[in-house]
């Protein structure tokens, strides 16, 4: 990396007033040494509904702000708009209902420099209202961390990530529009990057924070989310499965659903463990759905507003 460099921060938004808190947290974040920052707000609404808020907050921002209207109701369009409008060496993503810790970018960059990875993921800490179920708060079902498989991270998420844009594995890579309403576009993006030889690292102290609204503090919302994640995984398995690989994947997912369902029943007295297995059953049921080619559940845009 050169003596001075630019970090762009992409925020995709769709009718969220919480965007104001996100932008103010970014304004208060520590700027890494030798770095200049630039913010890209990608408004995914049919009308430019976030423009007024961005213009209102522009005087508070200590760096350049670019507003992009990229309709409509398809998160992949917004994520690609951030990629297309980025002129930096690095591009960070944060969601429009999250707030960044003060040293968020510093910690992501430290990990990038230490590992040379093409992508860096950070953790998302969920914050529950007192009205959230006690089992949910104890089990912390909404916080986000990467998953390691045989010692490596093979996929990722965009709610807290830093991309090295000039990495070969990211060259011309874009989020699939076909997944922009269902979700899973970030899983697909990072999986493809990893399969192209890209590496993914984890900055354990690069925290962002996300309040859990009442509409998401339910077992039903979590089950739908897990099922949709499973559908994405099942579709990815289908794309690379051949010969006996497909029925084997289907049989394995079915056995996992059965195991998790039995565990759910056996653990009825323990709410945290019971619900954790129930959600794993939903995940593996989603894998079966994806393997069978069923349409993925819509999650973003108007569908998201309706679910709330």
| Every domain of the chain and the residues it spans | 5-216, 219-307
pTM for this model (two decimals): 0.93
pLDDT tens digits, 221-243: 999 999 999 999 999 898 876 66
Q: Is 21 helix (H, G, I), strand (E, B) or coil?
A: helix
Please state, in angstroms and rounded to a whole number, the distance separating the CA atoms of residues 81 and 85. Answer: 6
Give the pLDDT of residue 308. Answer: 40
Domain 5-216 coded CATH 3.90.550.10: yes
- pLDDT for 216 equals 96
Instruction: Residue 120: count other Cβ atoms within 10 Å of its Cβ.
Output: 29
User: pLDDT for 100-114, tens place per residue?
Assistant: 999 999 999 999 999
Per-residue confidence (pLDDT) for residue 295, from 0 to 100: 86
Cα–Cα distance, 274 to 135 (Å, whole number): 10
The pLDDT score that the predictor gives to residue 300 is 58
User: What angle, 0 to 180 degrees and rounded to 10, lies between the N-to-C axes of helices 271-291 and 245-266?
Assistant: 160
State how far the Cα of 39 lies from the Cα of 64, in Å rounded to an integer.
Answer: 6
Q: Report the C-alpha gap between 236 and 259 in whole angstroms.
A: 23
**pLDDT of amino acid 3:** 84
Quote the CA–CA distance of 20 and 22 in Å, as a whole number. Answer: 5
Spans of the chain below 70 pLDDT: 1-2, 241-243, 299-308
Q: What is the pLDDT of residue 307?
A: 42
Question: What is the total residue count of the chain?
Answer: 308
Q: What's the 3-state SS for 288-303? A: HHHHCCCCCCCCCCHH
């Amino acid at each position: 990396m050169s003596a001075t460099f630019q970090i762009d921060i992409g925020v995709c938004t769709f009718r969220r007033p919480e965007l104001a808190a996100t932008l103010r947290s970014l304004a208060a974040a520590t700027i890494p040494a030798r770095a200049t920052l630039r913010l890209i707000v990608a408004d995914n609404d049919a009308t430019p509904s976030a423009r007024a808020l961005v213009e209102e907050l522009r005087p508070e921002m200590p760096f350049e702000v670019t507003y992009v209207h990229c309709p409509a109701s398809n998160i992949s369009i917004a994520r690609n708009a951030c990629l297309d409008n980025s002129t930096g060496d690095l591009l960070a993503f944060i969601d429009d209902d999250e707030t960044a810790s003060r040293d968020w970018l510093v910690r992501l960059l430290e990990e990038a420099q230490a590992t040379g990875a093409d992508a860096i993921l950070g953790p998302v800490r969920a914050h529950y209202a007192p009205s959230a179920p006690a089992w949910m708060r104890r089990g912390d079902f909404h916080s986000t961390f990467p998953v390691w498989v045989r010692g490596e991270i093979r996929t990722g998420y965009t709610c807290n990530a830093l991309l090295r844009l000039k990495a070969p594995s990211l060259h011309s890579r874009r989020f699939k529009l076909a997944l922009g309403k269902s979700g899973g576009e970030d899983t697909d993006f990072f999986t493809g990057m990893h399969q192209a030889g890209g590496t993914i690292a984890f900055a354990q102290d690069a925290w962002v924070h996300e309040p859990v609204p009442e509409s998401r503090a339910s077992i039903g919302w979590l089950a739908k989310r897990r099922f949709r994640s499973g559908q994405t995984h099942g579709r990815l398995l289908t794309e690379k499965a051949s010969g006996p690989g497909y029925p084997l994947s289907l049989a394995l997912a079915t056995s996992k659903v059965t195991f998790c369902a039995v565990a759910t029943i056996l653990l009825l007295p323990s709410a945290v463990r019971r619900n954790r297995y129930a959600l794993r059953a939903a995940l593996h049921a989603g894998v079966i759905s994806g393997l069978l080619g069923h349409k993925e559940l819509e999650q973003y845009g108007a569908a998201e507003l309706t679910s709330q």
